[in-house]
Every structure is written in C-alpha cells, then in structure tokens.
Amino acid sequence: MSRPGEPRVGVLALQGDVREHVAVLEALGAAVTLVRTPAQLAVVDGLVLPGGESSVIDKLSRLFGVREPVRERIADGMPVYGTCAGLILLADRILDGLPSQLPFGGLDVDVRRNAFGSQVDSFEAELEVPALGEEPVHATFIRAPAVERAGVGVDVLASVDGRVVAVEQGALLGTAFHPEVGGELRFHRRFLDHVARVSGA
C-alpha cells in the first residue's frame, strides 16, 4: 500500500518473470501494482517491462487493451525499465521481429532479438557499469537481445563482447540481461530514482 505522495510503480503482468521484479522492487521499498489493464496503468508513476517472450507480450498487450495506453504514457514521459524482452518492447525498432510484432517504442535504439543465441546459449557475466559504481554487475543473459544502434540521445551503460547490452535515454532504461534473477538491485534503484524525479516525490 502506497502512502500519500509516495510513487507507485507497476510491473506489466501479462507474461514473463513478473514475480522476480516485484520482489526486487518491494525489497527496495517500492509500492508495486501488477498492470494488466488501462485502469491499473493509470495509477502508476513508472512501469517495468519484464523479460519473457516479446511477441507474446505484444499480442497480450493488444488483447488486454493496454498497448496504446502504455505508448501514450511513455510519450508523456513516464519512466520505464525494460529487461530482455522488455528492452525489445521499449525499442523504437526491432530488426528481426515477427511480421506482426510491434514494440511500444520510446527508446531510440535498434534491437536484435536472441542476439546471443538460443536458450542453451544463456550465460552469466560480470559487467563494468561505471554509471552504477565500481563494483561489477552480475548479469544473467537468457536468449538475450542486443542493441545494434543507439541514437544520439541514448547513453550506453554497458557492453559485452562488443555488443551493447544496457542503455538509458532520459527516464527510459533498458538491459538485455536480467539483474532481478541474481539479486542485483542497482538498475531497479536507478529506475526508482527516475520515478521519484518525474513524480516529484
């Protein structure tokens, strides 16, 4: 339950690793709403797009009537953090999406799905992310995408093997990996900082 004046954040709860994100956000003291409808989206100050299957989340977002409301809120400046499939959905362009697949957009990047291979090619890595401090980030990559082009207003936060895997543009944050799987809190904390600034809390 959020207190008066306290920002409430949402996790898009259509498919994917929703519970893991909720656990991390609540561990950081956030009030969390599961978002499946436009009404639930309307009460949050920021939104997490979880990992999962980007094409399935796209289809379900249309079925539940939240695709256009999410796009409108992003355009209005709502902070959003997308992980893995969430990064794909947040990108302006998906280079190898399904013919009918559309992202929410907002982040001026081109993303390639499954850029590191299939499920059996999943891996973990220690990433240097100077924006988060000196301690490396333990990152879990599961059928991970990669950013192949970042616009002039996009800050590259991390790369692995020469591929961009973490980006930020204003209040929009995207990672190709899953910090929530390994208990890494700093990306979610950075997202909550964006929410606090935008909401004025």
Q: Does residue 86 belong to any structural domain of this protein?
A: yes
In the chain, what percentage of residues exceed pLDDT 70? 97
Catalytic residue among 21, 84, 168, 194: 84
- What is the spatial distance between Cα 138 and Cα 120, in angstroms, rounded to a whole number? 19
Catalytic residue among 20, 180, 188, 194: 180
Domain count, the chain: 1
The answer, yes or no, to whether residue 2 has pLDDT greater than 60, is: no
Rg of the chain taking only CA atoms, in angstroms? 15
Catalytic residue among 21, 178, 188, 194: 178
Q: Does residue 3 belong to any structural domain of this protein?
A: no
Concerning whether 84 is annotated as a catalytic residue, the answer is yes
Q: Does residue 1 belong to any structural domain of this protein?
A: no
Tell me the average pLDDT of the chain.
92
> pLDDT (tens digit, 9 = 90+) per residue, 136-178?
999 999 999 999 999 999 999 999 989 999 999 999 999 999 9
Q: Does residue 165 belong to any structural domain of this protein?
A: yes
> pLDDT (tens digit, 9 = 90+) per residue, 15-50?
989 999 999 999 999 999 999 999 999 999 999 999
Is the C-alpha dihedral spanning 122, 124, 125, 129 positive or negative?
positive
Concerning whether 135 is annotated as a catalytic residue, the answer is no
Concerning whether 21 is annotated as a catalytic residue, the answer is no
What is the CATH classification number for the domain harbouring 130? Answer: 3.40.50.880
Q: Does residue 55 belong to any structural domain of this protein?
A: yes
Which pLDDT band, with edges at 50, 70 and 90, does 199 fall under? confident
Q: Does residue 2 belong to any structural domain of this protein?
A: no
> pLDDT (tens digit, 9 = 90+) per residue, 86-129?
999 999 999 987 888 889 999 999 999 988 877 777 889 999 99
Q: In terms of pLDDT, which residue wins out, 51 or 3?
A: 51
- Specify the pLDDT at position 3: 52
The dihedrals phi and psi of 123, each to the nearest 5 degrees, come to: -155, 170
- Specify the pLDDT at position 5: 54
Q: Does residue 99 belong to any structural domain of this protein?
A: yes
The answer, yes or no, to whether residue 195 has pLDDT greater than 50, is: yes
Q: Which domain holds residue 57?
A: 8-199
- What is the spatial distance between Cα 28 and Cα 180, in angstroms, rounded to a whole number? 12
Structure tokens at 113: 């799905």
Q: Does residue 136 belong to any structural domain of this protein?
A: yes
Distance in angstroms between the alpha carbons of the first and the last residue of the chain: 16
pTM of this prediction? Answer: 0.94
